[in-house]
Structures are given as C-alpha cells and as structure tokens.
C-alpha cells in the first residue's frame, strides 16, 4: 500500500486538567514523527474528568485531599513527573492553586478548529496549567491563549461572555461516554481503532500502521482496541 497520499484522522478525547493527556500528546507527536510519509488530521475532542467542579474552580489541595485522601499527590505525582521528564514536560504540580472546571477551555479548543490552531491552543493550555500554574477558569486568560495562537481575541471574548456552544461541548462529552470512553486520553484512529491511555509511542506507531492497513475498508459499527 502506498502511504504517500494517505491521510489518517486521529480524534483525541482529552481533558486539559489531565496530566496523562499532556504526556499522551507528546507520545503521539513522537509516533507521528516516525511516519513522515503519512498525513494526519488531528482533532481534539472534549472530556471532563470531573464535571462537578464549580465554574470558579476549587482549591487544589482541598480537591486532592477529597479525591485521593491527601493533598500532596504522593506516588502519583512522582510517577507523572518521571513520565513528564522522559517527554520533556517539567510538571510543577505544587504551583497549581486551583483545580478548574474545563468547559470553557473546551469551548475555546472547539473554536480553535475553525482557525486550524487547535494543537497550538491545546499545547498552550497544557503548558500554562501544568508548568506555570495558570488559572484556567479565568476567561481573560483563555482569551490570551486564543489570541497568542492567532485567533481573534474580541470574538473569543464575546463568545466566552455568553453560552455559545456550551451545550454542544456537553453533548460531545456525553457522546464520548456513550461510545465507552471512561478515561482519557483516548485516541481514535481512522474511526476504527482505539488506543486508551497515554501509551508509549511504539504502541501508537503500531496503531497508525494498523489504521493504514484498514484505511480502505468500510467503517465498522464498533471500534477495535489496540493494546
């Protein structure tokens, strides 16, 4: 099969407050770089790890203690920091003061698709939150992220001031849940293959190669998981 003219769509179901999603993004980038003759259509899809967080967010230490029984992150943070270091991500968990509700972040990511800057916006949100302790509940900050990626700041600010696409984002999250997505990141390749979790780049390369083999076959009513 000639891969030169092939385009593989990859839908990434993700939440910007998920550190493993940031790690998964880096590992996917490595996998994509390993297949330079293939075109990729990357589409970021919304998910909320915790939709119960109020719009204004919640104190990070209090949230961690309620969710995990401690406010330090302990072994979980240690594992994430090691994974981050291997992928060039300097996680600074203790600089994060607020656990955010991420619906507005997902709205901006959705709008970024129309300007073809989704990846830039997602990267900036991950970096801001996990390495700079940015407050993702501040609409002014989200506007700055959008503007830095080349989006029209006035338009984004106006949309954020209302409920534009709020229900659409919620429905996309509900759709992912109906499809069986219970955790993120989740990579859906060519609408046929699913890779759950921040798998090593070798696993993602394997999935890309399988997607290329299946590219000419009709879409199935179910997905095949790649382990």
Q: Does residue 114 have a pLDDT over 90? A: yes
Domain ranges within the chain, ordered by starting residue: 7-225
C-alpha to C-alpha distance for 171 and 158, rounded to whole angstroms: 22
Q: Does residue 158 have a pLDDT over 90? A: yes
For the domain covering 7-225, report its CATH number. 3.40.30.10
- 26-69: pLDDT as tens digits: 999 999 999 999 999 999 999 999 999 999 999 999 998 888 88
Give the CA distances from residue 162 to residues 159, 166, 168, in Å, rounded to whole numbers and listed in that order: 6, 9, 14
Q: What is the pLDDT of residue 223?
A: 56
Q: What is the pLDDT of residue 67?
A: 83
Question: At 2, is the pLDDT very low, low, confident or very high (cuts 50, 70, 90)?
Answer: very low
Q: Does residue 183 have a pLDDT over 80? A: yes
Mean pLDDT, residues 4-21: 92
Mean pLDDT, residues 147-159: 98
Q: Is the pTM of this model over 0.85?
A: yes
Q: What is the pLDDT of residue 222?
A: 45
The DSSP string of 156-174 is HHHHHTTTTTHHHHHHHHH
């Amino acid at each position: 099969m000639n891969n030169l003219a092939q385009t593989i769509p990859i839908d990434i179901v993700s939440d910007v407050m998920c550190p493993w999603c940031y790690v998964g993004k880096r590992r996917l980038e490595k996998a994509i770089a390993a297949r330079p003759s293939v075109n990729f259509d990357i589409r970021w899809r919304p998910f909320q790890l915790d939709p119960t967080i109020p719009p204004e967010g919640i104190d990070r230490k209090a949230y961690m203690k309620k969710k995990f029984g401690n406010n330090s992150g302990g072994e979980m943070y240690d594992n994430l920091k090691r994974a981050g270091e291997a992928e060039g991500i300097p996680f600074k968990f203790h600089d994060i003061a607020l656990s955010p509700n991420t619906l507005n972040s997902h709205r901006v990511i959705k709008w970024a698709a129309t300007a073809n800057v989704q990846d830039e916006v997602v990267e900036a949100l991950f970096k801001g939150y996990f390495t700079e302790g940015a407050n993702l509940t501040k609409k002014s900050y989200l506007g700055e992220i959008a503007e830095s990626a080349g989006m029209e700041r006035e338009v984004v600010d106006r949309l954020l001031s209302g409920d534009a696409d709020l229900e659409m984002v919620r429905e996309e999250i509900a759709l992912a849940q109906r499809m069986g997505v219970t955790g993120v990141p989740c990579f859906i390749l060519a609408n046929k293959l699913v890779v759950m979790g921040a798998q090593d780049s070798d696993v993602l390369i394997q999935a890309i190669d399988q997607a290329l083999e299946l590219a000419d076959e009709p879409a199935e009513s179910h997905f095949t998981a790649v382990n």
